[in-house]
Amino acid sequence: MPELPEVNAFKNYFDEAAIGRTIREVVVLDNKIFRNTTAENFAMKLENRQFVGSYRRGKYLFCALDDGNHILLHFGMTGDLKYYNDSLDAPKHERFRFEFSDNMKLGFDCPRKFARIDYIEDLEAYIAQKNLGPDALEISEHDFLAAMSGKSGTIKGFLLNQKVLSGMGNLYADEVLYQTRVHPLSITDRISTKKKKEIYRKMIEVLTRAVEENPDYKEYPEDWFWKWRVEGTVGPAGKGKVTFSTIAGRTTYYCNAWQRKYT
């Protein structure tokens, strides 16, 4: 999926396509993508409304309506947005679309259907109930260090936990650990304070750079991050080869000789 930088790019795309437009009709092609509401209710609530803004927190994109309510767009692994005019240009796995009063359409595409769409009347209560942690680009160094304190799980699991920190995904987590030379199996609170701060700074740096690229997760620049994330790639300064295993439930790439394991 889209991780934080990709969702940020979706936000930019959404803002451009939807803000200020009136929704004439909501066409639903797959009921199951709605989690806390039905397709009928969703359509009824949104028709004749206008989008007035959007707010991203981690991988969650909240879109504000002119009646004060919100919708959540969560892209799962394969969610995507497409803005178009001609019906022939509808994305292949469109699950629903907004048809605006000017006849333009914004389709939500998602082959694997891991995406989730919610209708939200109380945004703060919704976020509190989800237990969603602060955005990875908003959290302060102090709060980041405090969150690490006492944690006995792996650093990889820590970075992926959306309740602690929202926005990091599998690829960017591997990138941060690789660049800071910390082994993904390191125990979070055993890492030195100096290294913890390095992880924090690198996380901000990597995400900031990625956000600036406005990445489209289907098409990354040639020299994008994680080029190294291929088995057998030789680590920096000839430090051994990249290998992978499942850590915190996700396929994790790392270089044993390059990344120190704090235990």
State the binding string over 171-210 for DNA (x if CB under 7 A, else -).
Answer: x----------------x----------------------
Interface region with DNA, contact rule CB under 7 A, candidates 11-19, 119-127, 166-174, 202-210:
166-174
Min dist. Cβ of residue 251 to DNA (A):
3
Q: What is the DSSP string of 41-102?
A: HHHHHHTT-BEEEEEEETTEEEEEETTS-EEEEE-TTT-EEEEESSGGG--TTEEEEEEETT
Min dist. Cβ of residue 93 to DNA (A):
6
What amino acid is encoded at 7 in this protein? V
Q: Is 94 in the site for DNA (CB under 7 A)?
A: no
- Please give the residues from 127 up to 156 whose contact with DNA meets the rule CB under 7 A: 130, 150-154
C-alpha to C-alpha distances, 220 to 59, 93, 121, 214, 223, nearest whole angstrom: 18, 21, 36, 10, 8
Among left, alpha and beta (phi > 0; psi -120 to 50; other), residue 21 is beta
Min dist. Cβ of residue 14 to DNA (A):
17
Gap between the Cα atoms of 129 and 136, Å rounded: 19
Site residues, DNA (CB under 7 A): 1-3, 6, 32, 58-59, 74, 76-77, 92-93, 111-114, 130, 150-154, 157, 160, 162, 169-171, 188, 217-218, 246-251
